[in-house]
Amino acid sequence: MTTYKVGYLIGSLSSTSINRKLSQALVRLAPHELEMTEISFRNLPLYSPDYDGDYPQVARDFKKAITSSDAILFVTPEYNRSIPGALKNAIDWASRPYGTNAFARKPSAVIGTSPGAIGTAVAQQSLRSVLSFCNAPQMNSPEAYITFSLGLITDAGEVTVDSTAEFLRNYMAEYHQFIKRVLTVLPREE
């Protein structure tokens, strides 16, 4: 039984983010073969090519966390019909300078929650476009746009609606299978 290291990025920097609650639920519901670790980007400065010759330590540590993961899961809200600026900034840090893209060939998946009826559908499409450019293979199905309601997920990450818990458990099982398929075809480069 192979264990895969999955780094997950929470698009919101808020300590009370509903997407943080969703990430906790996903960690609880993930197959045992997925070793889930949050990769924080809270302290990254704004990216500029001026840093390309000498990344600050926080950016080197962030990029190393992406590189040392077998796969990346994005759990993101939708801000103004796109992804939060801090998440885009983090992606820019990890994908630059040219030729050192940490997302290349890295199995990825996107999920998010919002109180709105369409969940985070538009933000996810925006993020998928960025990940395509970064050459990150993406799990396209099942899609997961979770409509959040008060009490859906406890502070401990327990999902209180059985059908939602089952959906999320299946989502993570599908992601596990996707990671196995991608890494069979595109083994990690050492």
- List, in order, residues 6 or more apart from 19 with CB less than 8 Å away: 10, 11, 12, 75, 76, 77, 112, 113
My answer on whether omega of the bond before 97 falls inside 30° of 0, hence cis, is yes
My answer on whether omega of the bond before 31 falls inside 30° of 0, hence cis, is no
Per-residue tokens: 142: 């099942």
Give pLDDT, residue 150: 94
Contact 165, 159 (CB under 8 A): yes
- Work out whether strand 34-38 and strand 4-10 pair parallel, antiparallel, or are unpaired: parallel
Tell me: the pLDDT tens digits for 135-153? 999 999 999 999 999 999 9
pTM, two decimals, is 0.96
Give pLDDT, residue 190: 58
Contact 22, 112 (CB under 8 A): yes
Give pLDDT, residue 118: 85
Contact 19, 149 (CB under 8 A): no
Contact 71, 26 (CB under 8 A): no
Which helix (DSSP H) or strand (DSSP E) does residue 146 occupy? strand 145-147
Give pLDDT, residue 8: 98
Average pLDDT by consecutive 10-residue portion of the chain (190 residues)?
A: 96 95 98 98 98 97 98 96 96 96 97 91 96 97 93 96 97 98 84
Give pLDDT, residue 71: 98
Contact 115, 109 (CB under 8 A): no
Give pLDDT, residue 187: 81
The whole-angstrom separation of Cα 21 and Cα 164 is: 14
Give pLDDT, residue 131: 97
